[in-house]
Amino acid sequence: MSSGGINARSYETIASRQVAFLGLGVMGYPMAGHLALAGHRVTVYNRTASKALEWCDEFAATATPRHARTPREAVADADMVFCCVGNDEDLRSVVLGQPDGQGQRIADGAFAGMKRGAILLDHTTASAQVARELHVAARQLGLHFIDAPVSGGQAGAQNGMLTVMCGGDASAFEQAQPVTMAFSKAVTRVGDSGAGQLAKMVNQICIAGLLQGLSEAIAFGQKAGLDMVQVLEVIGKGAAQSWQLDNRGKTMVADQFEFGFAVDWMRKDLGLVLQEARSNGARLPVTAVVDQFYADVQAMGGRRWDTSSLIKRLR
């Protein structure tokens, strides 16, 4: 394990590529690390430059890691660019350039520096609308844009075992998929531009409902006087089994939530889900209620607690 908590794994042998990674947060930092450990030549950019310097120090033994002052500088020689930032506007700033305060954008974004034919894979959980917007902008410049949100959380990023849902042109996806496997266990194209973000929304709808059900089940069992660690082991061998039960059930019983995917992040994601549902007419009554339950958890001081902290409302 590296000092940054990255678990090195076996990597598929493919030709070394010149790549850039924009955004070194809790997900991007280890994802970029796996690309370097897989033998790719990585240039990184982060809004807080000290983080980029730290990353370069950690991976100094790999293929000449570099950092850049702007996204445009970072991508200058890259065949592929990976991005993982916070939200739609962060994404626009990194890809199109920072706003200048007068309705224009400074030409320091990735698209201004990418060479013709290069591919940008965006791992931000963002709206389908911004994915389609950037896809169109990329095509006008002779570039490729793939929306590629991930599932698996911080642990998945550290272990190089993320699931990646991609939307975009099939030819660009086929070129990018082998490189993306450096930090993934599955990289799948689910449709055209925007489809990756929509698939991630489906993922978050499932998780929200599962966690509320698991919270109610554990709270019920504890009120009934059951040994819930034992009960979870029993029902985990039957139809109630899920990743959330296997990986979060015992910590929920123990009232432990200082890890994992933060409530603030889930509320951001569910906001995107509910906005899309208003646009396409989907009915999401359970998701809407669980979103408000997460607002309750935030009000309890749990903004950075793991999403399994829904159970705190029931105690």
User: pLDDT of 245-263, one tens digit each?
Assistant: 999 999 999 999 999 899 9
The verdict on residue 93 lying in a domain is yes
User: pLDDT of 66-113, one tens digit each?
Assistant: 999 999 999 999 999 999 999 999 999 999 999 988 889 999 999 999
Domain match, 255 and 310 both: yes
- What is the C-alpha separation between 267 and 125, in angstroms, rounded? 12
The verdict on residue 305 lying in a domain is yes
Confidence of residue 13 (pLDDT cuts 50, 70, 90): confident
- What is the C-alpha separation between 196 and 166, in angstroms, rounded? 4
Domain match, 41 and 180 both: yes
The verdict on residue 161 lying in a domain is yes
For residue 47, how many other CB atoms are within 10 A of its CB? 17
- What is the C-alpha separation between 74 and 145, in angstroms, rounded? 17
Domain match, 180 and 218 both: no
Question: Lowest mean pLDDT: which of 11-15, 17-21, 115-119?
Answer: 11-15
**Tokens matching residue 213:** 């059900």
Q: Does residue 1 surpass a pLDDT of 70?
A: no
Residues 257-276, mean pLDDT to the nearest whole number: 96
pLDDT of residue 3: 41
Domain match, 178 and 221 both: no
Whole-structure pTM over 0.85, yes or no? yes
pLDDT of residue 282: 98
The verdict on residue 2 lying in a domain is no
pLDDT of residue 4: 53
Range of the domain at 217: 199-314
CB-neighbour burial class of residue 253 (10 A; exposed 0-12, middle 13-18, buried 19+): middle
What total number of domains does the chain contain? 2
Domain match, 130 and 162 both: yes
Q: Which of 138, 170, 191 is the last residue of a domain?
A: 191
Whether the CB-CB separation of 249 and 236 falls below 8 Å is answered with yes
Q: Does residue 2 surpass a pLDDT of 60?
A: no
Domain match, 283 and 156 both: no
CA distances from 107 to 70, 98, 113, 215 (A): 10, 8, 9, 48
How many residues are given for the chain?
315
Measuring CA to CA, which residue among 60, 137, 62 is closest to residue 94?
137
The verdict on residue 5 lying in a domain is no
Percent of the chain with pLDDT over 70: 99
The verdict on residue 212 lying in a domain is yes
Q: Does residue 197 surpass a pLDDT of 90?
A: yes
Task: Considering the candidates 51, 115, 185, 200, report the single residue annotated as catalytic.
Answer: 200
Domain match, 84 and 141 both: yes
Domain match, 117 and 204 both: no
Q: Is 200 annotated as catalytic?
A: yes
Question: Lowest mean pLDDT: which of 8-17, 138-147, 296-305?
Answer: 8-17
3-state secondary structure the chain: CCCCCCCCCCCCCCCCCEEEEECCCCCHHHHHHHHHHCCCEEEEECCCHHHHHHHHHHCCCCCCCEECCCHHHHCCCCCEEEECCCCHHHHHHHHHCCECCCCCECCCCHHHHCCCCCEEEECCCCCHHHHHHHHHHHHHCCCEEEECCEECHHHHHHHCCEEEEEECCHHHHHHHHHHHHHHEEEEEEEECCCHHHHHHHHHHHHHHHHHHHHHHHHHHHHHCCCCHHHHHHHHCCCCCCCHHHHHHHHHHHCCCCCCCCEHHHHHHHHHHHHHHHHHHCCCCHHHHHHHHHHHHHHHCCCCCCEHHHHHHHHC
The verdict on residue 39 lying in a domain is yes
